Amino acid sequence: MDLWCKLLSFRQIFVQTQHVLNRSTILICLSLAAAPLCSALDTDAAKQELASIETFQNGLQAMEDKLPQLATMRFRETLENTELSEDAQLATKLKLAESLIRTGIGYEASQILADKAYDDVAAAQYWRAEAIASMGHFAKAAEAFGEIGSKHPNYGQAKLAQASLLRSIPRTGEAIATLREILELDNKGTLHNQASLLLAEIFIDLEDYEEANLALEDIEDSSPSASKLREFLEAKIALAQTDFALAEQQFKRLISSKEYLSRAIFQACFMGKSDAETGAGKIEDSISTLIKFIDENPNSPLIDSAFRRLGARFPDNAPADHPLRQKLLTWSASSQLNNYSYWNANIQSSPWSSVAETSLRAPKKQKNEDLASYALFYRAYLLSSSKSAAERAMASALFSKLRLLYPNHPLSRWSMLESAWIEIRNDDFDAARFDLSIVNDIAITPKLKDQANFLHGLILDQDEHFAEALAAFSAASQSGFDNVSEAAEINAGISALKAGQLAAFEDELGKAQSTAAITSLQLERALWLCAAHQLEGRSQLLTFINEHPEHARTNEARLALTSAALYIAPYDVALAEDLISVLLGSLTDADSHAQLTRLEIRANELKEDWLASAESASRYLQRFPTASNTAEFQLKLGESLFHNGDFNKARQVLAEIPRKSPNSEFTPFALYYSALAARREATPQALEESVAVFQQLIDMDSKLTNEARLQQARVQVDLGYLALAEASLREVYQQEAISPSLRRGAGLLLADTLHRLGSSEAKFYQEALDVYKQMLEEDGLTLSWKHRIHYQLGQTYQQMKKIQLALDSYYSVINQEDAPKAAAENEKEWYWFYKCAFTALTLLEQKALKDESQWLAVVSLARKIASFDGPRSEDAAKRASYIAQERMIWED
């Protein structure tokens, strides 16, 4: 009988703990959130020295960005510099200590700050006290803050921290006295408001509401945050004084206008509103408030408080369709019961049980596990009080389900006690004793002279001395012989264009006398602009064609315009196709037709109509089967078939090129695409054939050899021949006489191969990291490459579970630490930048899910990403805003 009474008492204590609003902490115990970044030692020499040290400055930036863990890494790197002066070392160590404290590593910080060199440094005295507090020694920390003198720059903040600590010990009287000192020290401002708020909360704890109201009246209204907190405390006072109608109204107003409320206080308002409704006898309204809270905040730290209230307020004999019963079913529906041997024939259908719940599945990570755990527990809890043996059996099964699916949840242990309670009700005392015994075991143009000048110009042009050629032709253009003058005018203009002197060209065009010269120069200018990929060239060619439809060079202009429409963005495929249809009837020789076919293929490629592209190449081969450029169009045919997905047919066409023209310049490319096609067929045999064809290309020692090695390595990776791929890639990567882009491609693939090998032997992860780091040291690395390598580096760190190092790699991109020093201001790269940025943001969010204090860093980082004028800055800004609102992070 005694045991029975204890269990009843336990159930009452567990479910019915205080249903008035629990004490909430307005101010954090330590002052870290409000504390300013400490200044380093105030020596001009140290400041000047550290201003030139990049790692130290990056550390300061990380601190400003609310990323103390990354700052810690930067300050440690700074201290590795053996040439640092003593003062610079001391200043750096002081910053390191601060970052450690903000990271929660108080012991190491205290060891650094113990150096007697800091005895007269004001900032060190303050952070020594913070270090002590971060280690949980609140009484000693309170004393340390109390020893900070009134002339200290952070004196007021230190006193506030001391008062908060004294309240926590608790030494309430001393906390009140300390807060009174602060109020006398600072008549207005943030510190004054903080002290008044803390003082009011202490008096509320002491149930001295008169003094609490006096403290609240002393708060300055200019601070939105302080004003909102005052409203919250006033609502608490109304609730404590049983003025439930007023309390309900005040909490409801705060919930509907949540700006400047912290997430914790906002959520506490729901608890307060529910308590006020309960006090006023509106139980169903109270339950509805809690249900709304849980639906909107399934991962809230107050979910336990919400469910406790629900458990206590649930009416006896509530019907099966009661809103709370239905919500508990919905919240716990992520876990289904299937065959479970614990159950037996005695478990019968209950009006409040899910038909699908007939067994248990193996443990699986669920969304909102905390919510599902509480819902399972309270479903079982409410059933366990039933007089029905079938409902109590269902309750036991739900408690067992909770323990199986969420063994490390705190309620798992509680469920053992509840199971024991049910067993006692069922007179199964042995099972109850067993359950109780294991409760604690559950865890990016001239005359004669003019002719001389003219010929001189031609020679200079041949020598590519275009500016001198311009001068020679310009002199020849003054000839009295029209034919020499006209040719010289044209050549002078062309030389100006070749010299890149457009202004000089316009001068020559303005001086031109003959209509023919003017017309030719206009065409040459249009052709030059197109060759320079300038869109204006297209419009000038179109104007030329429209104004001179019968000119001898009109078809040349049409071909040029067709090419420009297909190679100068934005592409105009429709215009190109119209021009091709006009040219098809006028160009009949093989060379002109070849040029036209190339453009037709290009148009089809832009439309990704690979079948049409293949048909264009095939038509040329059928019309000119003995042309000298047959291999070129066979290659185009094979490429088109490859892109169309006809890999086997592509291989058959491409195989004809090395067989018929083994020494053709197109043979290496044919082998290359043939090998790629075999790879894309993806059968084991085709992959082996791909490796063999790539080897044939490698043995030819062509300009594609190293590219073939890379592609061969990719296939070897597909086949699982990682060691062979690694050896081949190392040979390419270690070559000195290869292009930077090829070397980088080899480096990335090599590192990726090593990354894959790392799954079987961890040393390869480190080798992959070494390759990435070596690549980052290359000269002339573009911003895009740096960002890409940092992203891959971070991915490898993630695979190694070194999340902080991965975050460090991504953050160096966000913080532009590796941006090329000589980069033009307009050089931007966004793809890999955002890959790093949003991956870092995701990692930081994951950390914040475990450590609520990290949400400020998440918002800070998202805002930093949004500050860049990039294509996804708006996404980052929205994310920052969303998280800030969701986590109740406000700015005055």
Reply yes or no on whether the pLDDT at 774 is more than 80.
Answer: yes
Q: Which residue pairs from 19-23 have beta carbons closer than 8 angstroms and sit at least 24 positions apart in sequence?
A: 19/275, 19/278, 19/308, 19/309, 19/312, 19/313, 20/239, 20/240, 20/275, 21/236, 21/239, 21/268, 21/271, 21/272, 21/275, 22/268, 22/271, 22/305, 23/201, 23/204, 23/205
Q: DSSP letters of 158-182?
A: HHHHHHHHHHHTT-HHHHHHHHHHH
641 Cβ neighbours under 8 A, 6+ residues apart: 610, 614, 647, 649, 650, 653
**Alpha-carbon distance 237 to 220, whole Å?**
19
Whether the CB-CB separation of 291 and 324 falls below 8 Å is answered with: yes
* Peptide bond just before 170 cis, omega within 30 deg: yes
pLDDT band for position 11 (cuts 50, 70, 90): very low
* pLDDT the model gives residue 872: 93
pLDDT digits (tens, 9 = 90+) for 118-141: 888 888 888 888 888 888 888 888
Range of weakest confidence among 174-178, 672-676, 800-804: 174-178
Q: How far apart are CA 374 and CA 861, in angstroms?
A: 33
Structure confidence at residue 835 as a pLDDT band (50, 70, 90):
very high
Position 579 scores a pLDDT of 93
Residue-wise pLDDT tens digits, 442-458: 434 344 566 667 777 77
SS3 category, 218: coil
Q: What is each CA distance from 34 to 135, 190, 506, 641, 846, in whole angstroms?
A: 19, 10, 66, 66, 24
Each residue's pLDDT tens digit, 12-44 = 334 333 333 433 333 333 334 444 444 445 567
DSSP 238-279: HHHTT-HHHHHHHHHHHHH--TT--HHHHHHHHHHHHHHHHH
C-alpha closest to that of 290 among 315, 259, 323, 257: 323
Structure confidence by residue, pLDDT tens digits, 386-423:
888 898 999 999 988 988 888 878 788 778 778 877 88
**SS3 (DSSP) at 614:** helix
From the number of C-beta atoms within 10 Å of its C-beta (0-12, 13-18, 19+), residue 384 rates as buried
431's tokens: 């099972």
Residue with tokens 């004196």: 155
What is the average pLDDT across 594-622?
Answer: 94
Averaged pLDDT score across all residues of the chain: 84
For residue 566, the one-letter residue type is: L
Rg of the chain over all Cα atoms, to the nearest angstrom: 39
Give the Cβ contact number of residue 418 at 10 Å: 24
Q: Which of 707, 629, 721 is nearest to 672 (CA)?
A: 707
Quickly state the pLDDT bin for 822 (edges 50, 70, 90): low
Residue 342 has pLDDT above 60, yes or no: no
For 45, 69, 617, 631, the CA distances from 624, given in Å and listed in that order, are 80, 70, 11, 12
Task: Report the sign of the C-alpha dihedral through residues 349, 355, 358, 364, in that order.
Answer: negative
Alpha-carbon distance 433 to 423, whole Å?
A: 9
From residue 615, how far is each of 294, 488, 597, 622 by CA, in Å? 64, 45, 10, 10
CA dist 204 and 176 (Å) reads 12
Give the helix/strand (H/E) hosting 732: helix 722-733
Torsion of CA 328, 334, 337, 342, to 10 degrees: -70
- The pLDDT confidence band at residue 366, using thresholds 50, 70 and 90, is low
Q: Is the pLDDT of residue 104 over 70?
A: yes
pLDDT at position 187, please?
A: 66
DSSP assignment string, 776-811: HT-TT--HHHHHHHHHHHHHHHHHTT-HHHHHHHHH
Q: What count of other Cβ atoms lies within 10 Å of the Cβ of residue 657?
A: 25
- What pLDDT is attached to residue 826? 53
> Which pLDDT value is given to residue 446?
40
Contact 445, 406 (CB under 8 A): no
How much of the chain exceeds pLDDT 70, in percent? 88
- The average pLDDT across 552-577 equals 94
pLDDT tens for each residue of 706-757: 899 999 999 999 899 999 999 988 988 888 888 888 888 899 999 999 998 8
pLDDT tier for residue 481 given thresholds of 50, 70 and 90:
low
- DSSP for 351-399, written as a single string: TTS-TT-SS-PPP---TTHHHHHHHHHHHHHHHHT-S-HHHHHHHHHHH
- Highest mean pLDDT out of 301-315, 637-651, 725-739: 637-651
* Distance (Å, whole) CA 306 – CA 310: 6
Neighbours of 705 (CB within 10 A): 16
Residue among 95, 120, 123, 88 nearest 109 (CA):
95
Q: What is the mean pLDDT of residues 270-289?
A: 94
pLDDT of residue 362: 42
Tokens coding 48: 């000047």
- Using CA atoms, how far residue 200 sits from 33, 54, 179, 196, in Å, is 21, 46, 10, 6
pLDDT in tens, 668-713: 999 999 999 999 998 999 999 999 999 999 998 888 988 999 999 9
Spatial separation of the C-alpha atoms in residues 32 and 101, rounded to whole Å: 9
> What would the pLDDT profile of 190-236 be if each residue is shown by its tens digit?
888 888 888 888 888 888 888 888 888 888 766 788 888 888 999 99
Q: Environment class of residue 891 by beta-carbon count within 10 Å: exposed (0-12), middle (13-18) or buried (19+)? A: exposed
Q: Measured between alpha carbons, how far is 549 from 686 in angstroms, rounded to an integer? A: 54
Contact yes or no for 807/840 (Cβ under 8 A):
yes
For CA atoms 727, 732, 734, 735, the dihedral sign is positive
Please, are residues 127 and 138 in contact by the beta-carbon 8 Å criterion?
A: no
Tell me how far apart the alpha carbons of residues 328 and 306 are, in angstroms, rounded to a whole number: 13
